[in-house]
Amino acid sequence: MKLRPKLLPGLVLLVVTALSQSQEWKAPTAMKKLANGLTVVVSEDHSAPTFGLCISYGIGFRLEPEGRTGFAHLFEHMMFEGTPNAPKGVLDRVIEAGGGFLNGDTRYDFTEYIETAPISALEPMLWLEADRMKTLDFSEKNLDNQRAVVEEEVRVNVLNQPYGFFYAIDLPGKAFDTYPNAHNFYGEFKDLDAARIEDVKKFYEQYYNPNNAVLAIVGDVNTQDAFAKVEKYFASVPSRPTPPRPEVSEKPQTAERRSQQPDKLARIPAVAIGYRMPPRSSRDAVVGGVTGELLHNGQASLLYQKLVKEKQVAVSVNGGVNWPLGAPLVYNGPTLMVSFMTYPPNVTEDKLLAAFDEVVAELAKTAPSKEEVERVETKMRSDWYNELESPLDRASALSHAVLFDGKFDSVYQIPDEVAKVTPEEIRAFAAKYLVKTNRTIINRVPAPAADKGGAQ
Amino acid sequence: MKGLYLAFCLLLLSSALFAQKEQPLPKDMPPYGPEKPMPAPDVKIEKLDNGLTLWLVARPGLPKISSLVVVSGGLASDPKELPGISELLGRTVTTGTKSRTSKQIAEEMQGAGADLSAGSSRDITQVSASMLSAKMNQGLSVLADVVLNASFPDSEVDLAKRNLSSAIDAREAQPGFQANRALAKVLFKDGPYSVVGATKDSLAAMTAADLKKEYARRFRPDQAILIVVGDFSADKMLALVREKFGPWRAPAGPPVAPASVPSVEVEHAAFLVPRPQSVQTTLALAGLGPRRSDPDFEAAEVADGIYGGTFGSRLTLNIREDKGYTYSPGSFLQTLRSAGLVRTQADVRNAVTGASLNEIFYELNRMATTSPTDRELEQVKRNLVGIQAIQLQSRGGLVGELATLWVYGLPPGEIGEHGKKVAKVTAADVDAVARKYFGASRMAVIAVGEEKAVREQLTPLGLPIHPAP
């Protein structure tokens, strides 16, 4: 049992003062593990009588079974479909009448369940979370219903949208070679259609275990009282074995990969470029995060200034490491630095890429100025604090960190780690990783509608 | 106490109407705990000599601040011959001042850890920056420079016009944009509120001189507010704001007049926007609703929450959780300064377009003809109060809510009043407001989708089908 000593208010003040030298901001936070393996993190915040809660399970797109693309996300929907004790609808009613809202998110390396409400709703919500960690209502009817809902979600977010999220779905598909990292995480309809209630049961038994989960509570709670409440409701959840995490690393890429896609809905062309990034635990990953923001973050970024302002070969530039599915340092397996650019129809793909390559080559040759790097690091500190502002977001950040590292320290240390990155490290990173043999490019071009006889 | 009482009610109120859907609450589940009062934010109100209104909220803690300048005049104030110039104004106001280039502005803001953005809604134009507290001097200096001294360099205006032109092309492909534009035309005809953005034609005619004229007309302290929320000392902030915004002067001309109250006649018909290759139909419905400052606004919020504005609403339970027609159905009250709308939207697969609209009509008419259950009423009221408290926790949420109040001419103290007003709403209030606003025949329907599919699907409903204007 690991329990951080509770900080006395005076002590907290001292700690904050001492840390202000390094600009670090942190909130009092404590962690504990229950006998069944559930890790619990609590951070007090008495600025409003509310709470944010996040349970992250160590399962995401990456480990969903072959032949069942999209299953981790479809499963996430099933977590809201009730249990034998609390049938479909109860969870929604209790959180809404409790004055709050809830949601779920599936990503490559976690699936999170989040809720926030006035503090009076905390206990029934803890009870309901513990309840759905024990068992679900494995109902065929609800599976059919949520399959239909998920397929509409895919239609509205992918199939009916220009660019169809290709920089997030198709780009990893081309950039990586193994199923865990390359498959369509939203799901092929044939796979979603093939999902059976037995798959739901098996997935639940394998991955939805207290020992594969981190519960974080942030808000108007007393730390010891919050631990006691969690113990009260979750201690009876049985521990089950979770399969060992399989190897998900990739063999190194050896050649540039380029392809072209038609887009029936887009009106102007777009390019997505993905460079493979180093593992998150390495120093290179932090440098990569800063490099990604130097290139992409806002109108001061190198790519915006060169491609949109100076050469005017792009209309918009977005991207960064782990973009668009998470913050630059919140991943736990192979990931990309993504650049997504729309460009004017009178500009060719080659012309855009030539300008892009010029920016990258310059970065690999000459280190950026100290001032430039400091600006980006300051912006990253500011952006990261946004992730910690609301109790809900802070609970989410804490639970992801503990899931990946077994400790929450990185949540408060990231800004200072980022601030240590030097211009020369960035240059060396660009020279090593931002090379053609390490990248994949998809050019997405508007395709004329198939029904040529239609309205012009 | 209230929590216990509510849990008790929830157990008893499984009415016959919802017999299949509503289950009793689990007997072992603990009840809600005691309610704690939600503290209203302490807003310091000041007015500078130049007429600038200041609302400041000091919140120790996370070392960031959010700042927002709002001025009167948005898309509805655009000159008749240049609809959508507000959009170009938002894209160019941050691209140069008398002493800073666009690159300097971007870099200095980045160095303050700031996100700088500018844009317009129908009634207002705004510039905002969220930054690190430690860098607020630098960040607010640049914000003030943009607000006081924007220079609209020709090269920046030309580039912004080209990129906005591409953005106009790009959004033509987005069904949500197509639906909103069509809705504005159907409801507001050629009136000020019909403008949702620039067109290729209007954009081509815009010049730097036009932008300077609009900027001078709107950006004046006597019709502006500066809102700052975050980790600062109020005295220091006030001094800083006086220094940076004190020199702002209003020109001699008249300020922008708010949009007049439009006369809206809603035709209950479907307006079709053809979208070849579409795999879904985007349905958008709207009828007249209350304005934010109207006395029945809170009752309408409750009605909207019961109908489609919450996840547990009738519409979501019906067409998503029961029938699986759509991922993200919903309703909301759209508030403009001089008009209010009741909106519904759902993206549904082509084959269930007619069935979905039938259910939407059913739920609208059910609102207009029957009373909500006590359980629905209580759930939505508690939800509205709680959600507001949660939103006001974040700097951005509080800044946004304060700006909304200012736009509608309400004092900041209204934040604390809102919850009390919601708590007083009765079933009879909801009945009255639903009868007034929610009947399906009060709604215009926009359908963006595959033309043949939409026509086939909607014909059995007997609704007139017109091409969207």
Q: pLDDT of A54-64, one tens digit each?
A: 999 999 999 99
CB contact under 8 A, B166 and A315: yes
CATH topology of domain B44-245: Cytochrome Bc1 Complex; Chain A, domain 1 (3.30.830)
Check residue A442 and give its pLDDT.
98
Select from B107, B168, B388, B393 the residue whose CB has the most chain A CBs within 10 Å, as the one to mutate to test that interface.
B393
Check residue B337 and give its pLDDT.
92
Who's near A141: CB < 8 A, 6+ residues apart? none
- A96 → closest Cβ in B169, B321, B383: B383
CB contact under 8 A, A99 and B36: no
B325 chain-A contacts, CB cut-off 8 A: 148, 152
A116 chain-B contacts, CB cut-off 8 A: 390
Check residue A449 and give its pLDDT.
57
Select from A103, A122, A155, A416 the residue whose CB has the most chain B CBs within 10 Å, as the one to mutate to test that interface.
A155
Looking at the DSSP bridge assignments, the partners of residue B286 are: B343, B444
Hey, which CATH number is domain A257-446, 3.30.70.1450, 3.40.50.970, 3.30.830.10, 3.30.420.40? Answer: 3.30.830.10
Is residue A19's pLDDT more than 50? no
Is residue A4's pLDDT more than 80? no
CA atoms within 13 A on the CB side of A149: 26
CB contact under 8 A, A375 and B107: yes
- Identify the H or E element spanning A361: helix A349-365
- Quote the mean pLDDT of chain A: 91
DSSP state of B23: P
Q: Residue range A37-61: average pLDDT?
A: 97
Q: Residue range B359-368: average pLDDT?
A: 98
* Interfacial A residues in 91-130 facing B (CB < 8 Å): 92-94, 96-101, 116-124, 127-128
ipTM over 0.95: no
Confidence grade of residue A392 (pLDDT, cut at 50, 70, 90): very high
Return the amino acid letter for A141.
Answer: K
Q: Where are the domains of chain B?
A: 1-36, 44-245, 270-467
Is residue A397's pLDDT more than 90? yes
CA atoms within 13 A on the CB side of B301: 26
Is residue B51's pLDDT more than 60? yes
Lowest mean pLDDT, pick from A37-51, A311-325, B250-264: B250-264
- Identify the H or E element spanning A218: strand A213-219
CB contact under 8 A, A390 and B159: no
Nearest-neighbour CA in chain A from B169: distance (Å): 6
CB contact under 8 A, A159 and B279: yes
| Token pair of A167 as six digits | 């920089």
B110 chain-A contacts, CB cut-off 8 A: 297-298, 300, 375-376, 378-379
| Class of domain B270-467 as given by CATH | alpha beta
Of A233, A219, A211, nearest to A53 (Cα)? A219
Tell me which chain B residue has its CA closest to the CA of residue A316. B163
Confidence grade of residue B9 (pLDDT, cut at 50, 70, 90): very low
Q: Residue range B252-269: average pLDDT?
A: 88
Confidence grade of residue B18 (pLDDT, cut at 50, 70, 90): very low
* Interfacial B residues in 391-420 facing A (CB < 8 Å): 392-395
Check residue A22 and give its pLDDT.
57
Q: Where are the domains of chain A?
A: 27-234, 257-446
| Class of domain A27-234 as given by CATH | alpha beta
Q: Do domains A27-234 and A257-446 have the same CATH topology?
A: yes
Select from B105, B314, B390 the residue whose CB has the most chain A CBs within 10 Å, as the one to mutate to test that interface.
B390
Q: Residue range A27-42: average pLDDT?
A: 97
Confidence grade of residue B440 (pLDDT, cut at 50, 70, 90): very high
A90-100: per-residue pLDDT in tens? 999 999 999 99
Of A117, A52, A111, A106, nearest to A387 (Cα)? A52
Is residue B385's pLDDT more than 70? yes
Check residue B132 and give its pLDDT.
97
A427-445: per-residue pLDDT in tens? 999 999 999 999 999 999 9
- Identify the H or E element spanning A233: helix A223-234
Q: Is A297 on the interface with B (CB under 8 A)?
A: yes
Of A442, A257, A411, A426, nearest to A338 (Cα)? A442
- Identify the H or E element spanning B157: helix B154-171
Confidence grade of residue A158 (pLDDT, cut at 50, 70, 90): confident
What B400-405 contacts at long range (C-beta under 8 Å, 24+ apart), as own/partner pairs, is B402/B43, B402/B55, B402/B57, B402/B227, B402/B229, B403/B68, B403/B70, B403/B124, B403/B126, B403/B225, B403/B227, B404/B292, B404/B335
Please tell me the pTM assigned to this model: 0.91
Nearest-neighbour CA in chain B from A243: distance (Å): 32
Tell me which chain B residue has its CA closest to the CA of residue A146. B324
* Interfacial B residues in 419-448 facing A (CB < 8 Å): none
- A267 → closest Cβ in B34, B173, B451: B173
CB contact under 8 A, B173 and A300: no
Check residue B10 and give its pLDDT.
32
pLDDT: which is higher, A309 or B21 = A309
Report the distance separating Cα A89 and Cα B380, nearest Å. 15
Q: Do domains B44-245 and B270-467 have the same CATH topology?
A: yes
Q: Residue range B153-171: average pLDDT?
A: 93
What percent of chain A stands above pLDDT 70?
A: 93
Residue A45 contacts residue B390 (beta carbons within 8 Å): no
Who's near A1: CB < 8 A, 6+ residues apart? A32, A33
Confidence grade of residue A117 (pLDDT, cut at 50, 70, 90): very high
A379 chain-B contacts, CB cut-off 8 A: 110-111, 113-114
Return the amino acid letter for A412.
Answer: Y
A251-305: per-residue pLDDT in tens? 999 999 999 999 988 889 999 999 999 998 899 999 999 999 999 999 999 999 9
B311 chain-A contacts, CB cut-off 8 A: 92, 96, 101
* Interfacial B residues in 35-94 facing A (CB < 8 Å): 35-39, 59, 61-64
CB contact under 8 A, B132 and A298: no
At which residue do the structure tokens 């029936």 appear? A264
Q: Residue range A230-255: average pLDDT?
A: 95
Is residue A1's pLDDT more than 50? no
